[in-house]
Amino acid sequence: MTEERTVQDSIVETVHMVRPNHMNAAGRLFGGMLMQWLDEVAGLVAKRHTRSNVITASVDNLRFIHGAYNGEMVVIIGKVTYVGNTSMEVRVDTYVEHLEDGMRHPINRAYFTMVALDENDRPKRVPRLILQSEEEKAEWEAAEKRREMRMKRKAEGF
């Protein structure tokens, strides 16, 4: 029997307070620090979906929309958007949450390709993804297009 999971089964949300040691020379959250947080969330999402070890195969569409500053609260949410045979795409959205009103403003979006590993660190089949909403179906279709672009870039040597 083939394993299946929903998008909701593996959603991860983390919260970080931006501190002085997270800042770059321009007084904003250092992009490398944010990338570490994003990779951790993507890994946790993939581990929840596969219930196994995973590795990051690639990151694309990493868009820095707005900076985050000292004392701000950064919320990172990850979810599976697409599964192949041994890999899956994980969308990771980042927001700054304003304490005054609880509003979240997007500052970053990235798409990670994660690969599931067996006990011998070899790629293994991932559970199928049950799509329950029109939004999830639309995200799957967009992920298929991103996958085609990744495959094209790979074939071209990028």
Output the DSSP codes for 50-62. HSSEEEEEEEEEE
Mean pLDDT taken over the chain? 95
Query: Of 33, 25, 47, whose CA–CA distance to 76 is shortest?
Result: 33
Give the pLDDT confidence score for residue 63 in this predicted structure: 83
Query: Of 116, 138, 135, whose CA–CA distance to 127 is shortest?
Result: 116
How does pLDDT run across 68-88, given as a tens digit for each residue? 999 999 999 999 999 999 999
Burial of 54 (0-12, 13-18, 19+ CB in 10 A): buried
Mean pLDDT on 14-18: 98
Name 20's bridge partners.
none
Cα distances (Å, whole numbers) of residue 106 to 31, 100, 133: 15, 16, 22
Confidence of residue 2 (pLDDT cuts 50, 70, 90): confident
Give, in degrees to the nearest 5, the angle at Cα 127 between 126 and 129.
120
Confidence of residue 99 (pLDDT cuts 50, 70, 90): confident
Report the predicted TM-score, pTM, of the whole model to 2 decimal places. 0.93
Question: What letter does residue 66 receive in the DSSP assignment?
Answer: S
How does pLDDT run across 29-70, given as a tens digit for each residue? 999 999 999 999 999 999 999 999 999 999 987 888 999 999
**Cα–Cα distance measured from residue 104 to residue 90, given in angstroms and rounded to the nearest whole number:** 20
